[in-house]
């Protein structure tokens, strides 16, 4: 194996390993297993709305603890939900710039497909924007990626080459066409729902 390929393998594996430190498992009654990403060290987690469906979710943390979670915000149209667990000192996932993504850029999806914990799937960005005729909720923004998403990937992080969160993986819309909610929409969702009255219990630094 060439030195260049070895370095590439190590770099990809390192991105996945760092991402797993902020990866959680989300279980909700009747919804199976989904995934979430730690947004803030004090227990704020972001996932898909369809993963929790306003149920009574439980969250499996990277250190092995399984804790009950409270649904702070839920938006079925964006397919986003914000959860909180009674935990501190978690590793928050660094945030990237979804508006800067370009076709052909490498991305990595982490999740628990078919119950395989912490699985990684690599691909490239197909494009971004609103023009995806097979996507649900037409007229809204997506990050489209050339990688397969499976049951258990929902709500998980889509990472760029530097391991930064650029999207929340959501749905397959065709053969090797995966769709993710751009991270800038997740930021706006949290600002709108958690920083508006009544005041949220999470600090503002958990969102901005």
Catalytic sites, residue numbers: 50, 79, 154
Beta bridge partners of 70: 84
Beta bridge partners of 24: 36
Instruction: Give the phi and the psi of residue 177 in degrees, each rounded to 5.
Output: -115, 100
- Whether residue 198 is preceded by a cis peptide bond, meaning omega within 30 degrees of 0, is yes
Beta bridge partners of 58: 27, 68
Segments in the chain forming alpha helices (H): 3-20, 49-52, 183-194
| Token digits of residue 83 | 């959860």
Residue showing tokens 């999470």: 202
């Amino acid at each position: 194996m060439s030195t260049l390929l070895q370095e590439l393998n190590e770099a990809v594996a390192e991105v996945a390993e760092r991402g797993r430190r902020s990866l959680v498992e989300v279980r909700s009654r009747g919804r199976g297993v989904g995934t979430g990403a730690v947004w803030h060290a004090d227990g704020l987690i972001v996932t898909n709305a369809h993963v929790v469906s306003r149920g009574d979710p439980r969250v499996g943390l990277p250190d092995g603890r399984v804790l009950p979670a409270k649904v702070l915000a839920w938006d079925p149209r964006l397919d986003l939900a914000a959860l909180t667990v009674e935990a501190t000192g978690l590793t928050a996932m660094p945030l990237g710039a979804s508006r800067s993504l370009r076709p052909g850029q490498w991305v990595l999806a982490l999740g628990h497909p078919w119950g395989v914990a912490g699985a990684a799937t690599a691909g490239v960005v197909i494009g971004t924007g609103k023009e995806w005729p097979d996507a649900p909720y037409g007229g809204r923004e997506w990050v489209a990626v050339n990688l397969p998403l499976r049951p258990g990937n929902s709500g998980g992080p889509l990472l760029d080459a530097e391991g930064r969160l650029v999207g929340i993986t959501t749905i397959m819309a065709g053969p090797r066409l995966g769709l993710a909610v751009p991270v800038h929409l997740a930021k706006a969702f949290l600002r709108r729902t958690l920083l508006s009255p009544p005041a949220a219990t999470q600090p503002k630094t958990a969102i901005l």
